[in-house]
Chains A and B, each alone.
Chain A
Amino acid sequence: MPSLTPADARELESVAKRIRRDIIRMVAEANSGHPGGSLSCADILTALYFRVLNHDPKDPTMAGRDRFVMSKGHASPAMYSVLAEAGYFPTDELLTFRKLGSRLQGHNVRGVPPGVEMSAGALGMGLSFSLGVALAGRMDADARGGRDYSVYCLLSDGDCNEGQTWEAAAAASHHKAENLIAIVDYNHIQNDGYSDFARFSGRDGKDGRAGGWVLEDGHTVNILSLAPLPERWRAFGWNVQEIDGHDFPQIVDALEKAKAHRGGPSVVICQTTKGKGVSFMENNPAFHGKAPNAEETEQALKELAG
């Protein structure tokens, strides 16, 4: 696929803005949910569903489709919004999020609504599942003499804390799973606070103390640094790219390169901003798992207008 034209990039930015507005409305209406990590991966999901994936919203289980597996299941608002905007189900349904009787549970459930490839919510599980899907694709392609599909798996900082992710990383390169592509939404903030010092502006603790500690505002800093993340993936035998996860030409280019890579699995490490697009949520751990109030919602939607 040719690289993005400026017009293509503007179109994707416009879709991503709609998705960000959906995320804010859903979480506000539910009065619960995870806006920060949903906003940080909104551009990645937009690039995937509106540019990269071979998929058909009218045929969610189409044979041979590319698979997208959301390992960070708490970012379900981003998942549901992108599926609805892509045409998998009516956007009207988004405001039922987290309510009794809704198909849109707080964390992803496989097949509900159609298009959600796997259940998630316990971190660290997505990459193993994705590897199984990738290996099945290769087996079937070998049997048919055809081409296999690609499997894209979105990981969070927390996913990369989990040992199971590294079990899967080792097994994927061992099996030369070249149709498997991990994407890290590396926003450096997780449930309790700051994963490391990358998004922390204060002085506290930069004096060489080991480990993490709790700040005056109640958040924790330096929970578990993943640095050096690219080197870790390389050491596990992966093809590694590092990009700005909010730059559409970079995202699309990196995903296309990853798809074309042969000989083993690829990872695209996306430097992202938690809460991206809403000034008071950006790099703010308070909005990892908290809904905005009415005033904040109005302000957020104003910032995301257009």
Chain B
Amino acid sequence: MVSEARTAATREALGPTLVKLVEEGLDIVVVDADLGVSTSAARFGQKCPDRFITVGVTEQNMVGVAAGLAACDKIAFVSSFAVFLPGHCYDQVRMAIAQPNLNVKLVASHGGVVTGEDGASAQSLEDFSLMLALPNFRVIVPADVVEAEQAIRVAANTSGPFYIRTIRPKVPVIYDDGYRFELGTWDLLRPGHDVTLIATGVLVKAALDAAGLLAADGVDARVLNAACLKPADEAAVLAAASQTGAIVTAEDHQVHGGLGSVVAGITARTSPVPIEFVGMQDRYGTSGRWDELLEHFELTPAAIARAARDVIARKSG
């Protein structure tokens, strides 16, 4: 499964995957607000110029144009940075896509503090919360470039609104090309019975590494990849609660309103167990190299392992 040698950024999947999908016969149109080079949407524009609409730096307009295209049976993709999409056009996403349930796919890059040197303004740490609150939206956070291509394929082939968060830096690829992403299913990356580490996006690899650290101490950690934040895999969460009795969530996002809140919401109803939340602790990021920032804000294998030990100590019985 793990091929540590290869690294790639999840944002690199967008343009090339959409080109393949058009070649496979899908009626895809891309609207671009002057960040297509960064999100890789421009690589689609290069190959399919008649299906690529530039609107300049008008994210609100971009979302509306995409909604109009979708209303005419196009599969409309828009991309930007996550601070702008949905951050700069949340009302448009709500009114023009979510409420009328139109077939628009938002692929937002530069999620999380791993955006790096550009600093706090560019690091989207609220997008999970914003997007999870909208009915009709499916919300996906791929762990690597293989999963990103899979998620884009599923979004293109499934009617209705999708939000896919990608990231800027090249990170280790954890899946081989045979991997198949499924909506609503959290991939079991490692079995275990002492604690469950549930991570999303760039922190999935960190959770796997944390499980390695814990194993060295004789702690057997289960690891789940929560790429599909919505719909969430309730069965996997409830099984984790009943079979391991303790959970750690890990996300490059504010601790409020993201993966941790989803998991706590599921367990609280019928299976309350101790949970620790690894994420941004209600604060903004800063400039730095992406890997330095993960260390600085304690979004690391060591931090996840520490949280696991804490939560195991609080288990009842």
> Which residues of A are at the interface with B, using a C-beta cutoff of 8 A?
109-111, 117-122, 124-125, 127-137, 139-140, 142, 163-164, 167-168, 170-171, 174-175
24 residue pairs A–B, Cβ–Cβ below 8 Å: A117-B71, A118-B67, A119-B95, A122-B95, A128-B61, A128-B64, A128-B65, A128-B68, A129-B64, A131-B65, A132-B66, A132-B69, A132-B72, A133-B69, A135-B53, A135-B69, A136-B71, A136-B73, A139-B51, A164-B92, A167-B56, A168-B64, A174-B55, A174-B56
Residue of A nearest to B70 (CB): A132
Check B29 for interface membership: any CB of A closer than 8 A: yes
- Asked if B72 and A167 make an inter-chain contact with CB atoms under 8 angstroms apart, the answer reads no
The docked-state distance in angstroms from the alpha carbon of A175 to that of B58 is 14
Q: Cβ of A140: which chain B residues have Cβ within 8 Å of it? A: 72
User: By the criterion CB–CB under 8 Å, are B60 and A163 in contact?
Assistant: yes
Question: In the bound complex, do residue A122 and residue B100 qualify as a contact, i.e. CB atoms below 8 Å apart?
Answer: no
Interface flag for B281 (CB, 8 Å): no
Asked if A171 contacts B61 (CB within 8 A), the reply is: yes
User: Interface SS of chain A: helix, strand, loop or mixed?
Assistant: helix
Contact, CB under 8 Å: A118 / B71: yes
Q: Quick check: A122 and B69 within 8 Å, CB to CB?
A: no
Answer yes or no: B176 CB below 8 A from chain A CBs. Answer: no
The reply to whether the CB of B305 lies closer than 8 angstroms to some CB of chain A is no
- Indicate whether A125 sits within 8 Å of B72 (C-beta atoms), given known contacts A131-B65, A132-B65, A164-B64: no
Residue in A122, A133, A167 whose CB lies within 8 Å of B68: A133
Q: Which residue in A109, A110, A124, A129 is a CB contact (below 8 Å) of B65?
A: A129
Q: Are B64 and A170 in contact (CB under 8 A)?
A: no
Taken together as a complex, chains A and B put the C-alpha atoms of A174 and B63 apart, in Å, by 17
| Cβ contacts B66-101/A at 8 Å (1 or 0 each) | 111111111010000000000000011001100110
Distance of A257 from chain B, by nearest CB (Å): 24
Q: Is the CB of A130 within 8 A of B55?
A: no
Known: A129-B67, A168-B64. A139 touches B58 (CB 8 A): no
CB-CB < 8 A to B69: which residues of A?
132-133, 135-136
Other contacts beyond A125-B96, A167-B55, A167-B56: 16, CB < 8 A: A110-B71, A110-B99, A119-B95, A127-B64, A128-B67, A129-B67, A129-B68, A132-B68, A132-B72, A133-B69, A133-B71, A133-B72, A139-B74, A164-B60, A174-B55, A174-B56
Tell me the smallest distance from the CB of A195 to a CB of chain B, in Å: 22
Given A171-B55, A171-B56: A121 in contact with B68 (beta carbons within 8 A): no
Q: Report how far A28 CA is from B72 CA in the complex, Å.
A: 36
Measured in the bound complex, the distance between the Cα atoms of B97 and A129 in whole Å is 10
Taking the closest CB of chain A, its distance from the CB of B264, in whole angstroms, is 32
Contacts of B55 in A (CB 8 A): 167, 171, 174
Contact indicator A168/B61 (Cβ below 8 Å): yes
